[in-house]
Amino acid sequence: MSEFVVCGRLLDTLALREATAEVAALRIDAEGVIVERAPDGTDAFDALRLRDDAIVLPPDHVLIAGLSDLHIHAPQWPQAGQALDRPLEDWLGAYTFPLEARYADPAFAKAVYADLVLSLLACGTTSALYFSTIHEEASLELARACLAHGQRGFVGLVAMDDPGLCPPDYRHASAREALDATRRFIAAVRALPGNDRGLVQPVITPRFIPACSDALLEGLGALARETGVRVQTHASESDWAHQHVIERLGCTDSEALDRFGLLRPHTVLAHANFIDRDDRDRIRARDAAVAHCPISNAYFANSVLPLREILDEGVRCGLGTDIAGGYTPSIFENARQAVTSSRLRESGVDAGKPPALRGGVAGARVDFLEAFYLATRGGAEALGVSAGALRPGMMFDAVAIAGRRGHLRLQDDDTAATLVQKIVCHAGRETIVRVWVDGRAIKLKSDE
Taking CB under 8 A as the criterion, the residue among 3, 54, 82, 218 binding a second copy is 82
Cα gap 157→326, rounded to integer Å: 20
Nearest residue (CB) to a second copy, 110 versus 343: 343
Alpha-carbon Rg for the chain, nearest whole angstrom, is 21
The Cα-based distances of 342 to 3, 57, 70 in angstroms read: 43, 35, 19
> Does residue 286 belong to the site contacting a second copy (CB under 8 A)?
no
Q: In the stretch 169-208, what mask flags binding to a second copy with x, by CB under 8 A?
A: ----------------------------------------
Is the Cβ–Cβ distance between 117 and 424 less than 8 Å?
A: no
| Residue 97 CB burial class (10 angstroms; 0-12, 13-18, ≥19) | middle
Cis peptide before 324 (omega within 30 of 0): yes
Nearest residue (CB) to a second copy, 180 versus 240: 240
Q: By three-state DSSP, how is residue 98 classified? A: helix
Among the listed ranges 1-9, 29-37, 80-88, 158-166, the one in contact with a second copy (CB under 8 A) is 80-88
> Does residue 60 belong to the site contacting a second copy (CB under 8 A)?
no
Residue count of the chain, please give it.
Answer: 448
Cα gap 131→204, rounded to integer Å: 10
> Does residue 274 belong to the site contacting a second copy (CB under 8 A)?
yes
Q: How far is the CB of 80 from a second copy (least distance, A)?
A: 7
> Does residue 91 belong to the site contacting a second copy (CB under 8 A)?
no
> Does residue 340 belong to the site contacting a second copy (CB under 8 A)?
yes
Among the listed ranges 35-43, 61-69, 154-162, 361-369, the one in contact with a second copy (CB under 8 A) is 361-369
Cα gap 224→314, rounded to integer Å: 25
Q: How far is the CB of 61 from a second copy (least distance, A)?
A: 13
Q: How far is the CB of 324 from a second copy (least distance, A)?
A: 10
Nearest residue (CB) to a second copy, 204 versus 305: 305
In this structure, which long-range contacts are made by residues 79-83, counting pairs with CB atoms below 8 Å and at least 24 apart in sequence?
A: 79/324, 80/323, 80/324, 80/327, 80/328, 80/329, 81/324, 81/327, 81/328, 82/324
Q: How far is the CB of 166 from a second copy (least distance, A)?
A: 26
Which of 97, 24, 40, 80 is closest to 295 using CA atoms? 80
Taking CB under 8 A as the criterion, the residue among 135, 172, 405, 434 binding a second copy is 405
Cα gap 408→401, rounded to integer Å: 9
Taking CB under 8 A as the criterion, the residue among 164, 168, 228, 352 binding a second copy is 352
Q: In the stretch 301-330, what mask flags binding to a second copy with x, by CB under 8 A?
A: xxxxxx--------------------xxxx
> Does residue 61 belong to the site contacting a second copy (CB under 8 A)?
no
Nearest residue (CB) to a second copy, 193 versus 352: 352
Q: Quick one: which H or E segment has residue 197?
A: none
Taking CB under 8 A as the criterion, the residue among 148, 406, 441, 444 binding a second copy is 406
Query: For residue 41, how many other CB atoms are within 10 A of its CB?
Result: 11
> Residue 433, by phi and psi: left (phi above 0), alpha (psi -120 to 50) or beta?
alpha
Taking CB under 8 A as the criterion, the residue among 144, 152, 422, 434 binding a second copy is 422
Q: Which residues bind a second copy (CB under 8 A)?
A: 78, 80-85, 115, 119, 239, 273-274, 276, 295, 298-299, 301-306, 327-330, 336-337, 339-341, 343-345, 347-353, 355, 358-361, 365, 367-368, 405-407, 409, 418, 421-422, 424-426, 428-430, 447-448
